[in-house]
């Protein structure tokens, strides 16, 4: 399953809006003052400036002394190749983006320009892609399809031209109009100029690499960019080992394609691997069978003979580009998405340690200090948060994938549009439940577990702020209301703060895990709807608390120390 934590993109949206023709208001700036483009109706420069401020500028630094002279040159090449992928992603979001970016650049420092850079386009990713510049709605097919195409037209074309099905549904083609018809154009053709440059830079990087597994990945990836054949290089990425410089580069996630959900977006993570932390967490893998056994449901619903292949990498992010850099920043990811590679090689979880640290300090701690009882807020430390993020990732791999007793029927297919929010809530509560099981086995101390519970409550506020139209946000609201109703969260009306009931949290978490897992095991679409309905409303006390959180940033805006450093490399 494709998965990325802390990205708004991973959500099911409402009915797709038929794309209106997109009018770019060209010409003079006129009365727009310092803005180089017309703001969307109802949008003001002040509101836009506030939206920009929701993203707190944060420098992502790292210990450059870990790199020798050759590795520094290698990193520089990879950063330069990443920028080529960044340019491709901008086009993938919207064909009009490069021209718009140029226009906005004519008035440097405007709020429009700043927000455009954060969002990679004129639509607000925090508000379901509501436009902030006067360009109309975002085409559901982004820049991958003709702006005016509908899902129906696309599907009818494939039904009438079955020989086109493979190329049209490929993750590595764009769809264009040609005459009266449609054609599929491979990425290697559509983005040839950028991909040729990116590939050349990756080959130069490969020559600088003394780690054979890294060299192989970079060479095969460079080839893939121009052949659209990614399988071999995905396998090479899974087999990276003992490498310090740890890149993840290419077309990966399909979130940007809201028309069909198949086209992949270019992105890049240039990171340094932390071997000690990675090995420490990898030891958790050994406990996964125990954790499956400890799920709070009857044994008949468990996968007791499941095998787990899930390498974990802890890294320091030094640069990102493309899809992942737009909107909300990724804190962990699980790749590749290609099912064939996953069957043969498994998948790898990558934890972006310095991004997690930054979000903890800039967002989670101030949230806790604002809405939680002081004695609990003061106990928060980053380690329980980091460990919960990791367990959330691992917990996606626990519990039912298939409806019990129905061969081959996936939970996802039964729960449909209710699946994502329910699965995110499951990963949260099963993650925390699993940490309780590990604490019982002595892997964590009781104090650590208490901090996990406090952190869990604070984090639900962070996540509800993503908006409850989005899977993570909806899943957090459900948890919060359930735990509150069951006494695991306590509200202090006098001080208007919440706290975790350290006594009742274990039971509350297990109770909710039980309900969510049983809904999944039985593919209970109605039950999922009833649970989400029952616990899907923001209560007045929470609404009040959320209002007070308006001053806390929603996310970070990364600035990369490597950009300055590498000038002398």
> Which CB, 281 or 427, lies closer to Zn ion?
427
CB 388 within 8 A of CB 459: yes
> Which CB, 2 or 196, lies closer to Zn ion?
2
Judged by CB under 5 A, the number of residues near Zn ion is 1
> Which CB, 222 or 411, lies closer to Zn ion?
411
Q: How many residues does the chain have?
A: 569
Site membership for Zn ion, residue 398 (CB under 5 A): no
Site membership for Zn ion, residue 437 (CB under 5 A): no
Residue 5 C-beta: closest distance to Zn ion, Å: 5
> Which CB, 182 or 427, lies closer to Zn ion?
427
Site membership for Zn ion, residue 427 (CB under 5 A): yes
Q: Which residue is nearest to Zn ion (CB)?
A: 427
Residue 181 C-beta: closest distance to Zn ion, Å: 40
Residue 392 C-beta: closest distance to Zn ion, Å: 6
Residue 393 C-beta: closest distance to Zn ion, Å: 7
Among the listed ranges 63-71, 419-427, 518-526, 555-563, the one in contact with Zn ion (CB under 5 A) is: 419-427
Residue 424 C-beta: closest distance to Zn ion, Å: 5
**Distances 448 to 59, 263, 268, 385, 429 between C-alpha atoms, Å:** 29, 42, 34, 10, 16
> Which CB, 427 or 464, lies closer to Zn ion?
427
Interacting positions 514-553 with Zn ion (CB under 5 A): none
> Which CB, 265 or 427, lies closer to Zn ion?
427
> Which CB, 260 or 395, lies closer to Zn ion?
395
Residue 531 C-beta: closest distance to Zn ion, Å: 18
Site membership for Zn ion, residue 430 (CB under 5 A): no
How far apart are the C-alpha atoms of 235 and 103, rounded to whole Å? 41
Nearest CA to 158 out of 147, 167, 171 is that of: 167
Among the listed ranges 93-101, 238-246, 421-429, 505-513, the one in contact with Zn ion (CB under 5 A) is: 421-429
How far apart are the C-alpha atoms of 569 and 475, rounded to whole Å? 45
What is 246-268 written as a DSSP string? EEEEEE---TT-TTTS----EEE
Q: Where are the beta strands (DSSP E) in 7-114?
A: 55-60
Specify the long-range contacts of residues 17-22, CB closer than 8 Å, at least 24 apart: 17/137, 17/138, 17/140, 18/150, 19/137, 19/138, 19/139, 19/140, 19/141, 19/147, 19/148, 19/149, 20/136, 20/137, 21/136, 21/147, 21/148, 22/94, 22/96, 22/135, 22/136, 22/139, 22/147
Nearest CA to 437 out of 266, 260, 291 is that of: 291
Site membership for Zn ion, residue 254 (CB under 5 A): no
Residue 427 C-beta: closest distance to Zn ion, Å: 5
> Which CB, 331 or 380, lies closer to Zn ion?
331
Among the listed ranges 120-128, 298-306, 332-340, 424-432, the one in contact with Zn ion (CB under 5 A) is: 424-432
Residue 311 C-beta: closest distance to Zn ion, Å: 18
Among the listed ranges 52-60, 124-132, 426-434, 499-507, the one in contact with Zn ion (CB under 5 A) is: 426-434
Site membership for Zn ion, residue 331 (CB under 5 A): no
> Which CB, 83 or 455, lies closer to Zn ion?
455
CA 315 to chain centre: 16
What is 434-485 written as a DSSP string? HHHHHHHTTSS-HHHHHHHHHHHHHHHHHHHTT-TTSHHHHHHHHHHHHHHH
> Which spans of this chain sit near Zn ion (rule: CB under 5 A)?
427
């Amino acid at each position: 399953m494709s998965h990325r934590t802390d990205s708004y993109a991973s959500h099911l949206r409402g009915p797709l809006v038929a794309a209106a023709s997109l009018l770019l208001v060209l010409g003079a700036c006129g009365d727009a003052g310092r803005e180089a483009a017309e703001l969307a109706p109802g949008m003001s420069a002040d509101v836009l400036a506030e939206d920009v401020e929701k993203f707190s500028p944060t420098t992502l630094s790292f210990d450059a002394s870990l790199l020798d002279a050759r590795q520094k040159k290698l990193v520089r090449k990879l950063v330069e190749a990443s920028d080529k992928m960044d340019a491709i992603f901008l086009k993938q979001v919207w064909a009009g983006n490069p021209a718009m970016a140029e226009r906005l650049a004519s008035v440097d420092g405007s709020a429009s320009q700043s927000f455009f850079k954060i969002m990679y386009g004129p639509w607000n990713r925090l508000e379901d892609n509501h436009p902030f510049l006067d360009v109309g709605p975002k085409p559901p097919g982004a820049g991958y399809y003709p702006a005016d195409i509908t899902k129906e037209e696309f599907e009818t074309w494939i039904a009438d031209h079955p020989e086109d099905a493979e190329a049209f549904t490929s993750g590595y083609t764009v769809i264009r109009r040609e005459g009266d018809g449609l054609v599929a154009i491979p990425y290697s053709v559509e983005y040839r100029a950028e991909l040729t440059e990116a590939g050349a830079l990756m080959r130069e990087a490969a020559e600088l690499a003394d780690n054979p597994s890294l060299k192989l990945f970079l060479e095969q990836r460079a080839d893939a960019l121009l052949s659209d054949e990614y399988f071999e290089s995905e396998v090479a990425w899974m087999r990276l080992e003992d490498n310090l410089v740890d890149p993840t580069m290419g077309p990966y996630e399909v979130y940007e394609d809201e028309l069909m959900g198949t086209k992949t977006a270019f992105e890049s993570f240039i990171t340094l691997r932390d071997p000690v932390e990675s090995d420490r967490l990898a030891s958790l893998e050994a406990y996964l069978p125990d954790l499956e056994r400890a799920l709070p449901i009857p044994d008949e619903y468990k996968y007791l003979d499941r095998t787990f292949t899930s390498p974990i990498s802890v890294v320091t992010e030094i640069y990102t580009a493309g899809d992942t850099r737009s909107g909300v920043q990724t804190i962990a990811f699980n790749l590749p998405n290609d099912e064939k590679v996953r069957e043969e090689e498994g998948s790898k979880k990558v934890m972006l340690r310095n991004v997690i640290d930054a979000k903890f300090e800039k967002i989670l701690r101030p949230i806790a200090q604002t809405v939680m009882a002081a004695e609990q807020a003061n106990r928060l430390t980053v380690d329980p948060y980091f460990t919960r993020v990791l367990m959330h990732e691992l917990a996606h791999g626990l519990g039912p994938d298939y409806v019990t007793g129905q061969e081959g029927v996936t939970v996802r297919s039964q729960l449909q549009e209710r699946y994502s929010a329910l699965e995110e809530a499951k990963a949260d509560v099963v993650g925390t439940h699993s940490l309780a099981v590990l604490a019982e086995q002595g892997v964590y101390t009781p104090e650590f577990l208490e901090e996990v519970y406090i952190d869990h409550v604070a984090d639900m506020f962070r996540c509800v702020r993503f908006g409850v139209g989005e899977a993570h946000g909806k899943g957090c609201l459900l948890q919060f209301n359930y735990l509150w109703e069951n006494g695991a969260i306590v509200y202090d009306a006098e001080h208007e703060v919440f706290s975790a009931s350290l006594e009742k949290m274990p039971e509350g978490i297990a109770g909710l895990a039980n309900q969510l897992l049983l809904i999944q095991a039985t593919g209970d679409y109605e039950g999922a709807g009833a649970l989400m309905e029952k616990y899907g409303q923001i209560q007045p006390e929470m609404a009040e608390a959320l209002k007070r959180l308006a001053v806390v940033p929603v996310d970070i805006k990364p600035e990369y120390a490597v950009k300055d450093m590498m000038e002398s490399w």
